[in-house]
Amino acid sequence: MNHWETRVTTDMLDDRRTQTRMPDGATSLIFCLLPDGESHLVVLGPRTRASYYPGKDVPLTVTVRFRPGSARLLTGVPVSEIVGRTLPLSDLWGPPATRLHHDLLADPTHASHRIEQALRERLAAQPKVVASSRALVSAATLMLASERVQDTARKLSVSERHLRNLFTDMIGLSPKQLARVNRIRTVLSRAERERGTRLATDIGYYDQSHMGAEFRSAMGVPLGAFMAGQLPPGECC
């Protein structure tokens, strides 16, 4: 079972426009190398709201996005502790993260391979009971795309409370919070082709007003403004 997906970006040039960090139910591990030689190896926790930041030159970025339930295995902490946060991997792994960071700087061309090797080693050391919980969370995540929480829990033969506790521990968000984030991401993926009430009801909102209110709460601006590029000013790096 694949616990993550890796994306490598090179020669990412600053266009001076505000960049958007989208709401995301996933936790990511990110290594970035900047033109001045500075680098970061950080964990980006799940986010229920968007944030905005100034664009800049980033010659190399390796992003490892953990699949549902895998963040608990690979970060080593309850994911609820890192929701909405960006923190150095060394805060979670200690000296092994520092050694990994040094390895990446010594040979950045093979950064993605080295990061995945470190994750496989960490995964192999996890207790089987934690791995079995991850499988349950992964199955529940797929089911919740089209079912209510109570129906999903019943089909998986667990209580709603147990399912919520697992989600909080292994994903960082409750099932309902994750569903809201996924709806927002679906809106963004379809808004250029579809608008109005049909889009809202297809995704699972009560009506267009419900979609608009949830979008503005998560993104900080109305849907129309966001699609027109009218974004809040960037506030962070």
Single-letter amino acid, residue 164: R
Q: What is the largest CA-CA distance in the chain?
A: 54
Round to whole Å and give the CA distance between 180 and 186.
10
pLDDT of residue 98: 97
pLDDT of residue 226: 94
Q: What is the pLDDT along the chain (237 residues), one digit of tens a residue?
A: 689 999 999 876 555 578 899 999 999 999 999 888 899 999 999 999 999 988 778 899 999 999 988 999 899 999 999 999 999 999 999 999 999 999 999 999 999 999 999 999 998 887 776 778 888 999 999 998 888 899 999 999 999 999 999 999 999 999 999 999 999 999 999 998 887 888 999 988 999 999 999 999 999 999 999 999 898 876 654
pLDDT of residue 54: 83
Round to whole Å and give the CA distance between 69 and 66.
8
pLDDT of residue 237: 45
Strand order in the sheet with 86-88: 4-12, 58-66, 28-33, 39-44, 86-88
Round to whole Å and give the CA distance between 136 and 173.
15
pLDDT of residue 15: 57
DSSP string, 165-191: HHHHHHTSS-HHHHHHHHHHHHHHHHT
| Predicted model pTM | 0.90
